[in-house]
């Protein structure tokens, strides 16, 4: 199993540009999570999907951020327009969607390091 795949691994862009981060979850997993990590704020949950449906986007910082999951094997996180304060490592994670009381481990991708100049 290839694990969670994220692309690109590194992205450098200029303020005002659109940025799209991509994630391929583990096959068979039907929950997908986007997290952001900065030195100041640590690891934060941005949004998560169950069965391709967004469940909780309360962590999305502002309207410049949007996420989609058009099918079970692909998700995108878009920032438009980007700002220097968006510089961070963005992680995607996936897990099986189990019933109440069941444990499910989240598997994280390697992350995308975004730098906005």
User: Which residues form the interface with another protein (CB under 8 A)?
Assistant: 4, 31, 33, 35, 42-45, 48, 50, 55-56, 59, 91, 93, 95-111
Smaller CB separation from another protein, 19 or 32: 32
Q: How far is the CB of 47 from another protein (least distance, A)?
A: 8
Q: Is the dihedral of CA 18, 88, 110, 98 positive or negative?
A: negative
Partners of residue 82 on adjacent β-strands: none
Find the shortest distance in angstroms from Cβ 90 to another protein. Answer: 10
Angle, vertex CA 99, rays to CA 74 and CA 47, nearest 5 = 40
Which of 43, 49, 45 is CA-nearest to residue 94?
Answer: 49
- Least separation in angstroms between residue 87's CB and another protein is 16
Residue 47: burial class (beta carbons within 10 Å; 0-12, 13-18, 19+): buried
The nearer residue to another protein, 74 or 108, going by C-beta atoms, is: 108
- As measured in angstroms, the least distance from the Cβ of 98 to another protein is 5
């Amino acid at each position: 199993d290839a694990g969670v795949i994220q692309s690109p691994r590194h992205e450098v862009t200029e303020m005002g540009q659109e940025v799209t981060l991509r994630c391929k979850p583990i096959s068979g997993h039907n929950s997908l999570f986007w997290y952001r990590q900065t030195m100041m704020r640590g690891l934060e949950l941005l949004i998560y999907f169950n069965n391709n449906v967004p469940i909780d986007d309360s962590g999305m910082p502002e309207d410049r951020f949007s996420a989609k999951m058009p099918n079970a094997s692909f998700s995108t996180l878009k920032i438009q327009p980007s700002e220097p304060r968006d510089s961070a490592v963005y992680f995607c994670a996936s897990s099986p969607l189990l019933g109440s009381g069941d444990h499910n481990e989240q598997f994280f991708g390697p992350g995308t390091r975004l730098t906005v100049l």
